[in-house]
Amino acid sequence: MEYRLNKYISASGYCSRREADQLIADGHVTINGRRANIGMRILPGQKVKVRGELIKNEIEPIYIAFNKPVGVVSTTDTQESNNIVEYISHEQRIFPIGRLDKDSQGLILLTNDGDIVNKILRVGNNHKKEYLVKVHRPITKDFLTKMAQGVPILDRVTRRCEIKEINPYTFQISLIQGLNRQIRRMCEYFDYEVVKLERIQIMNIKLGNLGQGNWRNLTQKELEELFDLLEKSKDVTQAKKPANSNKAMNKALQEYDIRNDYRKASSVAKHTPKAKLEKMAIASSADAEQDEKEKPKKKKKTGSGPRIGKSKAVGKKPQPKQHPKPRKDK
């Protein structure tokens, strides 16, 4: 979890953010023994001191890399047998960043930092994940070429990807998508069966020689590189965002509502008796008439248009006053 320096100090209860900024400006704050500047950020593992006093927060962020074995389920649901959280049994409450299929193995990250989860999993950020895949029969160049160009699965064509042969039965593939069982489905499309699937890298974090079933804390260098990549991808995403994206989204939602209403109307017409439909139509017509009556009438604008010469106002001729006829007394 990445903090602004003033927020980190104030969260510890030492002082307010404004007072923290003043302490930083006056040179009373250090990070790992070096004088800090206003606006700096704190990464896990860095030591912050104010006037020589070490600042600590109760909840320290946790970032770990885990080599998931086959059979472990990437879920926090404790009702699920062999779930990843109970398998690791960390002293803090952590959760996986994304998932890895039960029958797959390899690198998965876990944390207690909800912000980083959203940043890593956001599709538009194009974060790469690399896998080693072993299949049941020899690989061909045609297979590798077609896999790299994109494969039609799940009512879409996968994005272009990087792929290379490791040996006659194994290839390495780099994806920026995370569709359900994507690699297995891509291989099945070309009649290849996946025998073994192992994730070896997520962004800058590599599995390395981490033993299967073991986990480790991310290093300071890994965290710094990771946050730099997340910051860069954030800037790129914002730059690509169209100015009228909200209008486009509203239009899409409106079209969806129209289609949805049409489907509902079709379903009602199909399953509702004719007599009831006639009553519904009459009621709908009456509601429309009532809405029309309740609409405020627009006032006509006077004096509009050019005047040509002088015109006399045309009015009704005065009618003679009617006197009541005298009643005759009998």
Q: Where in the sequence numbering do the catalytic residues fall?
A: 101
- Report the candidate in 178, 104, 108, 101 with the shortest Cα–Cα distance to residue 134: 104
Distance CA 198, CA 194 (A): 11
d(CA 5, CA 226): 19
The DSSP 8-state label assigned to residue 67 in this structure reads E
Element (H, E) at 152: strand 152-153
Cβ-Cβ contacts under 8 Å for 166 (sequence gap 6 or more): 132, 172
95 φ/ψ angles, rounded to the nearest 5 degrees: -145, 155
Measured CA distances, 181 to 28, 155, 325 (Å): 53, 14, 101
Contacting residues for 316 by C-beta, under 8 A, at least 6 apart: none
Element of type H or E holding 24:
helix 17-25
Q: Report how far residue 177's alpha carbon sits from residue 159's, in angstroms, rounded to the nearest whole number.
A: 7
